[in-house]
Amino acid sequence: MTDVFYPDIDATVAMQFVTSMSIDHNGEIVTRDFATIDSEQAGNITEQLRGYGDTPVYGAGLEYRSYEASIPREMMTPKLLDIYGDLFDDEFVLGIAFAVADAVNYAELCEIAGVPVGSNILVNRYTHYQDGGREVFAPYIFGNQALRVTGRYDDIAFDLPLHGELAMTDVPGEIYYASTGSVIVIVPEFDVTEYFWFAKPTDKDGFIEHAFDVLDGITFGGNEAQANTSIVDIEAQIEAMRGIPRLITVFVYGFVGMLTLIGLTNVISTISANVRLRSREFALLRSVGMTHGGLRRMLNLESILCSLKSLCLGVPLGIAGSYLIYSGMVSPVTTAYTLPWIPILQCVFGVFIVTWVVMRFSASKLRGGSIVEALRLESGN
């Protein structure tokens, strides 16, 4: 959950400007009521925040509610066509998110994309959710095309040229923090309805006070009554999010540990009793010439077969159980199911070791005894 809410963000404090948007449908006329922040104003705030002890600050904004883009079929990769190809003929209309960054970080993104400052950069990534899983891939064939952008609630229409592209791994998590658009284009400037400033100050408390002073009294564009600014202590939120799992983990591991000890006790008792009851069988094998080495190899093979039989039943049941737990916890945030390979390997290794050790220890108690005495005791004579 922490990775979902704070993806790849190396920050302890986040300042945010967000606006609630009301939409009024009156016949064919649609009016929207919201507040905005322009790139120049956001940049000034970023510089003021950086003025506190030269604190590194990453400013990023997003507008994803008002526009959609027409994607021509020839621009789409076979993977995207395989998913959505049956839903359209010549072009496919998807929501578009305009992303902006502060001047310093925008220049770095342009350098990574190999384009001059002032360019529009396509973020070539798409996340597809299906059957509880998530798949991320590059959806577009980039070739300096232009996207046809139209307004969702008005008659705005324009062609947006694309000058470069970036893969998902090239874009920092700050850009994705609030992104919900299928198409993301980083532009030099835009009036956005959401803007975030991420910082990792050495003096967190002092910086938060400074941030309150910077954000206090700022006038935003549009309907300022809809504007909302806040400061989030990411570190404290993450600790709060992890507090309950830690408490649950203590009880869960205590319960699992108790069950494990009970299971080990039963395994040790069962194997030890089984070996003792087979003392006459071992004596007969020794009487016909089987050496201690041969007996040891036989028990080793039995312990392996016994372990494999239990794992063939236990591992599928364990995987099914973990998936049921995942299914119960996946809401409200959809995350991909990851097979717990490391715990499975640990269990497999543990089962083989425990079975082999107990088998060898029990068999060692029978070593050196008299064959005649073993046969006599077992026969009741």
- CA–CA distance, 221 with 367 (Å, rounded to integer): 89
- CA distance to 68, 90, 108, 152, per residue, from 93 (Å): 7, 10, 30, 11
pLDDT digits (tens, 9 = 90+) for 223-260: 777 778 888 888 787 777 677 777 888 888 898 889 88
Distance of CA 276 to the CA centre of its chain: 51
Burial of 77 (0-12, 13-18, 19+ CB in 10 A): middle
| Nearest by Cα to 377 from 296, 291, 280, 305 | 280
- CA–CA distance, 52 with 214 (Å, rounded to integer): 11
Amino acid 163: pLDDT: 92
Which residue matches tokens 């910077």?
214
Asked if 73 contacts 88 with a C-beta cutoff of 8 angstroms, the reply is yes
Exposure class string for 321-341: b at 16+ Cβ within 10 A, else e: ebeeeeeeeeeeeeeeeeeee
Low-confidence residues of the chain, pLDDT below 70? 1-8, 21-32, 129-134, 144, 177-182, 241, 330-335, 365-381
Distance of CA 30 to the CA centre of its chain: 38
- CA–CA distance, 97 with 180 (Å, rounded to integer): 7
Q: What is the pTM of this model?
A: 0.62
Residues 6+ apart with CB under 8 A from 136: 125, 126, 127, 128, 168
Amino acid 151: pLDDT: 86
Amino acid 324: pLDDT: 86
∠235-240-243 over CA atoms, to 5°?
A: 125
Amino acid 131: pLDDT: 63
- CA–CA distance, 372 with 123 (Å, rounded to integer): 82
Which residue matches tokens 């979902």?
4
- CA distance to 132, 253, 288, per residue, from 328 (Å): 11, 19, 59
> Where do the structural domains in the chain lie, given as residue ranges?
2-239, 278-379
Q: What percent of the chain has pLDDT over 90?
A: 17
Mean pLDDT of the chain: 81
Amino acid 4: pLDDT: 53
- Show the 3-state SS of 100-142: EECHHHHHHHHHHHCCCCCCCEEEECEEEEECCEEEEECCECC
